[in-house]
C-alpha cells in the first residue's frame, strides 16, 4: 500500500496513477475536512462555484497535462483578466500598452509606447526590476511609476518584503507586457472545469483502490499504518520536526461577502496595490458566467504563516530560506521510501499545470517500472 499525505493536486495525481496504472492500494490522509487542497471549491446558494482558498484559473502550454486533465473534466473556455486600481483608475494587469493610455495623457502615453516598442519590440514581457535598470530618462520615469504604483505596495502586502528581497522568479510573474493583449495569461490551453475543481479531484479518486481519511493528521497515523512508499506533500520543515529551523511561508485570510446585485466588479479579479489592507477582490461568478441575481466576492488579506493558527500557501523564496531548505532537501534525499512533492514539500512556487506535470514525471521516473 502507498500512503499519501495531502489530497491536493500533487497527491491526487499520484494516487490516480498508482491505483489505475500500478493497480496498487492507496491511502490518502488529509488534515482538512475536504479533499482537493487549495483548489477546493463548492457551489453556494446562488449556484456560484466559490474557490475557498483564492481564485484558480487554469492555464497551460503543456499538451500532455491538458490531455491528462481532460479525462476528468469538460472545460468552460475562460481567459483570466485582472485589473488594478491605481490612482483611482482601473487599469489592466500585467501593465501593458492599454494601461499606458489609462494611466497617462494620450500624448505622453503615445511617446512611451513608441519608446517601449523601439527599445524592446512588440509582444515582449519585461520584468519590472529589469526595466528599472535601463539608463533612459523616459524608461526610468515609466519604470518608477509602475514599480511604485503597481508592484511595491502589492508586494509588501503579499510577501511582507520589497521586490528586491525576493527572488526574480517572483517579481517576473507579473511583468510589463508590451502588447495590447489584456489577458493575464497567454497560454494555449485555458479554462475552468465545468463541474469545479473539486469535481476534478473526485473523478481522479474514483477508484476502489483509493481510500481517503479526512480530518486525519499524518503524525497521528504514521506509526500505525504499514506502507510500501510514502508520498509527502506537506511542509518539509515540519516533517523533520524543524531540526534546521522553520521555513517562512505566507498565509491568506479571506473575507467572503455576498451582495444583492448581479455584478460587483468588471472582471473576476481586481487588485489593490495602493489602497486598503487587502490585496485583491475576487468575484467568482465571472469564471463560469453564472447567472444569478446576487453575487459573492472574497476580500483577500495576506498574513504571516504561524504553525497551528493558519494555513501555509506560499514559500518565501529568498537566500535565507533557500539555505535552510537545502539542508532539508539533503535529508529528504536520504529517505528512499519517501517522495516529497508539491509547493510545501519542495519549497517551490508551482502553478497548477506545473505541479501536475511534476507529479506525472515523478510517477514515470520513480514509481512506474
Do 236 and 345 meet the contact criterion of CB atoms below 8 Å apart? Answer: yes
Residue 369: what pLDDT? 64
pTM of the model as a whole: 0.96
> In this structure, are residues 38 and 53 in contact, taking their beta carbons and an 8 Å threshold?
yes
pLDDT of 222 reads: 86
pLDDT value of residue 173: 72
Give the pLDDT of residue 169.
76
Which residue numbers in the chain have pLDDT < 50? none
Q: How far apart are alpha carbons 319 and 236 in whole angstroms?
A: 17
Closest by Cα among 353, 340, 256, 334 to 295: 256
pLDDT tens for 61-98 read 999 999 999 999 999 999 999 999 999 999 999 999 99
Torsion angles phi and psi, residue 186, rounded to 5: -115, 15
d(CA 47, CA 107): 46
Q: What pLDDT shows up at residue 39?
A: 98
pLDDT at 162: 86
What's residue 82's pLDDT? 98
- Candidates 367, 364, 338; CA nearest to 24 is 367
DSSP H stretches of helix in the chain: 9-17, 63-70, 97-103, 106-120, 128-131, 137-146, 153-159, 168-171, 196-204, 218-221, 236-239, 285-288, 319-333, 343-346, 352-362
Determine phi and psi for 256, rounding to 5 degrees. Answer: -90, 135
**What is the structure's pLDDT at 334?**
97
**Per-residue pLDDT reduced to its tens digit, 330-343:** 999 999 999 999 99
How high is the pLDDT of residue 240? 97
Q: Could you tell me which of 75, 74, 72, 73 has the C-alpha nearest to residue 204?
A: 72
Residue 254 cell numbers, joined = 479571506
- Other C-beta atoms closer than 10 Å to the C-beta of 103 total 20
Summary count for the chain: helices (H), strands (E)? 15, 19
Least Cα distance to 228 among 19, 15, 5, 24 occurs for 24
According to the model, what pLDDT value does residue 171 have?
Answer: 72
List Cα–Cα distances, 190 to 74, 148, 355, in angstroms.
12, 31, 16
Distances in Å between the alpha carbon of 125 and those of 19, 36, 135, 196, 328?
Answer: 42, 33, 18, 31, 35
Amino acid at each position: 500500500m502507498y500512503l499519501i499525505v495531502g489530497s491536493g493536486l500533487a497527491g491526487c495525481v499520484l494516487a490516480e496513477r498508482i491505483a489505475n496504472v500500478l493497480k496498487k492500494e492507496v491511502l490518502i490522509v488529509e488534515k482538512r475536512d475536504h479533499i482537493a487542497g487549495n483548489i477546493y471549491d463548492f457551489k453556494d446558494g446562488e449556484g456560484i462555484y466559490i474557490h475557498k482558498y483564492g481564485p484558480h484559473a487554469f492555464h497551460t502550454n503543456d499538451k500532455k497535462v491538458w490531455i491528462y486533465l481532460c479525462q476528468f473534466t469538460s472545460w468552460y473556455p475562460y481567459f483570466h483578466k485582472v485589473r488594478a486600481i491605481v490612482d483611482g483608475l482601473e487599469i489592466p494587469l500585467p501593465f501593458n500598452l492599454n494601461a499606458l493610455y489609462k494611466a497617462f495623457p494620450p500624448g505622453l502615453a503615445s511617446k512611451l509606447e513608441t519608446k517601449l516598442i523601439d527599445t524592446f519590440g512588440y509582444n515582449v514581457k519585461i520584468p519590472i526590476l529589469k526595466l528599472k535598470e535601463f539608463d533612459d530618462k523616459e524608461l526610468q520615469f515609466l519604470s518608477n511609476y509602475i514599480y511604485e504604483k503597481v508592484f511595491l505596495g502589492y508586494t509588501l502586502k503579499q510577501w511582507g518584503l520589497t521586490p528586491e528581497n525576493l527572488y526574480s522568479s517572483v517579481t517576473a510573474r507579473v511583468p510589463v507586457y508590451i502588447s495590447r493583449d489584456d489577458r493575464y495569461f497567454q497560454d494555449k490551453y485555458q479554462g475552468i472545469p465545468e463541474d469545479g475543481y473539486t469535481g476534478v479531484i473526485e473523478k481522479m479518486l474514483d477508484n476502489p483502490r483509493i481510500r481517503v481519511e479526512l480530518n486525519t493528521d499524518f503524525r497521528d497515523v504514521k506509526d500505525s499504518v504499514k506502507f510500501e512508499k510514502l508520498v509527502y506533500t506537506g511542509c518539509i520543515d515540519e516533517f523533520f520536526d524543524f531540526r534546521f529551523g522553520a521555513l517562512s511561508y505566507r498565509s491568506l485570510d479571506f473575507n467572503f461577502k455576498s451582495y444583492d446585485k448581479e455584478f460587483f466588479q468588471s472582471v473576476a479579479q481586481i487588485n489593490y496595490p495602493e489602497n486598503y489592507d487587502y490585496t485583491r477582490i475576487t468575484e467568482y461568478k465571472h469564471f463560469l458566467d453564472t447567472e444569478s441575481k446576487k453575487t459573492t466576492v472574497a476580500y483577500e488579506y495576506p498574513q504571516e504563516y504561524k504553525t497551528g493558527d493558519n494555513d501555509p500557501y506560499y514559500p518565501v523564496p529568498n537566500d535565507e530560506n533557500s539555505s535552510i531548505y537545502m539542508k532539508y532537501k539533503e535529508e529528504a534525499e536520504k529517505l528512499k521510501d519517501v517522495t516529497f512533492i508539491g509547493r510545501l514539500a519542495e519549497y517551490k512556487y508551482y502553478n497548477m499545470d506545473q505541479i501536475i506535470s511534476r507529479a506525472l514525471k515523478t510517477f514515470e521516473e520513480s514509481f512506474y517500472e
